[in-house]
Amino acid sequence: MPDNSATRPVNIQDLDIRSTPRDQMELAELDTFEYEYPGRKIWIDFEIPEFTAICPFSDFPDFAVIRLSYVPNKRCIELKSLKMYINSFRNVKIFHEHVMNVILEDFVAACDPLRVRIEGDFHVRGNIKTVVRARYSKDDGRS
């Protein structure tokens, strides 16, 4: 029986993996406007079918459909700024798992929603399809 106590080596393919550091991503700012019906809980759904970022392993583009739903608190996301923000990932080297967390963190910081659900439905690459989901609830602060 193999010894499971030892962890596998990191990057056994010996690839040059360089994600873009967070402070160098140069992402566009998310803008907001006042939600005139605070207390009225509505869901707002966005589908963003042309998301692109760069794979840190291959330097090839990764494509995805991003689905974002949220319940506003006191602020709503302005759509043009959301478009500019999402499009600014085109030159960012980032893993699928990390991009969903970055978007979630930035979205929550920008508009302080009551709830957010985000899904990255990444196109097939090398016979593997990836779907990454993240969520946030102001009630408990957990994702």
Catalytic residues: 55, 62
CA nearest neighbour of 62 among 16, 128, 106: 128
Q: How many CA atoms lie within 13 A of 130 on its CB side?
A: 14
* C-alpha triplet 11, 12, 15: angle, nearest 5°: 55
Which 3 state secondary structure label does DSSP give 76? strand
């809980």: which residue's tokens? 41
Give yes or no for a contact between 96 and 132, defined as CB atoms under 8 angstroms apart: yes
